[in-house]
Amino acid sequence: MEKRRLGRTDLFVSKICLGTMTFGEQNTEAEGHAQLDLALERGVNFIDTAELYPIPPKAETQGRTERFIGNWMKARGARDKVVLATKVVGRTANVWFRGGRPSKLVRADIMDAIDKSLEKLQTDYVDLYQIHFPDRLVPWGSSPTRIGAWPAKRAEDETPIAETLAVFDELVKAGKIRHLGLSNESSWGVMKFVAEADKGTGPRVVSLQNAYNLVNRTFEVNLAEVCDREDVSLLPYSPLAQGYLTGKYDDGGLPDGSRKQLFNRLQRYETPSAAEAHKAYNQLARDFGMEPALFANAFVTHQPFVTSNIIGATSIAQLEMALDSADVKWTDEMQKAVDAIHQARGNPCP
């Protein structure tokens, strides 16, 4: 599988990354290991996880995904075969991450997070350590189509980005992480991290993990230029819009065992007019003779500003289809057809 440079680093990652947020909730440890085995066999060398996983976040399951991955790497002797990425939570009122208190992006909390992640992952270092979401009070995903009330509310105890970045500098120097990445971040946030790093505060951001798919192309509005000019790699998540771009929810469908049926946490993709947009793209895929899931993943994988598409699956069959998207020939005709729907439908699910 094609490998692409991660930011300005010397790391090259496969154009598909295996996301693991289902490991420990929808997938057993054995199922997770089978997915990891298949991905590695197919040329994937990039694995993404988080201290928060599995999804949905719960005190009783938090950290289980990292443990599953750590056990797999130890059993297979695979640590040197993969680029390993995990995440630290941003500001959250959930108290189970830090032993009974809320968490912020301050030194004590970041140090606690990385040490726990390294223990669970059974490794001395993480290749890419990402901030899962900002310390600032911003809309989820940080790239909305409208901001709502302005000026945006600010927390009185907001942690300055320079303070957070200085902690990551310690982690790099200690050899616990190699590189820093962001997630669910805005154009301003990315540039602020870059500016602070350029002043010598800490490591330079190498990647951004934001949602990007057929019904959410907000990355293209401002972030695309920021990431291009600053050599920040896009690692898009949710290429299937939490399953809506597979067609299984079209016309009110609710399959047993689906994420919506199990957890009903898909509101980001249930906005007004979203259902019509999902159905239009799913039909377009079939018009090109492809399964909607294959088409939607291929769209993301083959966009010129994407470094690695973070896929997710709960079955081997789903994983095989996602991996197959790397081999799809994405044509100008496909892109023009997608852009025509986008022009009419916009970004219904930012």
Residues 328, 92: Cα–Cα separation, whole Å: 40
The CATH number of whichever domain residue 181 belongs to comes to 3.20.20.100
Count Cβ atoms below 10 Å from residue 54 Cβ, excluding itself. 24
Does residue 165 contact residue 201 with C-beta atoms inside 8 Å? Answer: yes
What is the chain's mean pLDDT, rounded?
Answer: 96
Mean of pLDDT values over 277-301: 98
- Is residue 139 assigned to a domain? yes
Domain hosting 136: range is: 3-244+293-326
- Is residue 75 assigned to a domain? yes
- Is residue 100 assigned to a domain? yes
The yes-or-no answer on residue 212 being catalytic is no
For the entire predicted model, the pTM comes to: 0.97
- Is residue 251 assigned to a domain? no
Residues 322, 141: Cα–Cα separation, whole Å: 23
SS3 category, 25: coil
User: pLDDT (tens digit, 9 = 90+) per residue, 240-263?
Assistant: 999 999 999 999 999 999 999 999
- pLDDT at 181 (0 to 100): 98
Count of structural domains, the chain: 1
Mean of pLDDT values over 234-241: 98
Question: Is the model's pLDDT at 347 over the cut of 70?
Answer: yes
Mean of pLDDT values over 59-86: 98
- Is residue 60 assigned to a domain? yes
Count Cβ atoms below 10 Å from residue 174 Cβ, excluding itself. 11
- Is residue 274 assigned to a domain? no
C-alpha 159 chain-centroid distance: 23
- Is residue 183 assigned to a domain? yes
Residue labelled with tokens 């009110």? 252
Whether the ω angle into residue 56 lies within 30 degrees of 0, i.e. cis, is yes
What is the percentage of the chain residues whose pLDDT exceeds 90? 95
Query: For the stretch 183-201, what's the b/e string if a residue is b when 16 or more beta carbons lie within 10 angstroms of its beta carbon?
Result: bbbbbebbbbbbebbeeeb
User: pLDDT (tens digit, 9 = 90+) per residue, 201-234?
Assistant: 999 999 999 999 999 999 999 999 999 999 999 9
Marked catalytic residue, from 53, 129, 249, 269: 53
User: pLDDT (tens digit, 9 = 90+) per residue, 103-119?
Assistant: 999 999 999 999 999 99
- pLDDT at 149 (0 to 100): 66
Residues 2, 203: Cα–Cα separation, whole Å: 27
- pLDDT at 146 (0 to 100): 81
Residue predicted with more confidence, 145 or 221: 221
Question: Is the model's pLDDT at 198 over the cut of 80?
Answer: yes
Residues 119, 177: Cα–Cα separation, whole Å: 13
- Is residue 178 assigned to a domain? yes
User: pLDDT (tens digit, 9 = 90+) per residue, 42-57?
Assistant: 999 999 999 999 999 9
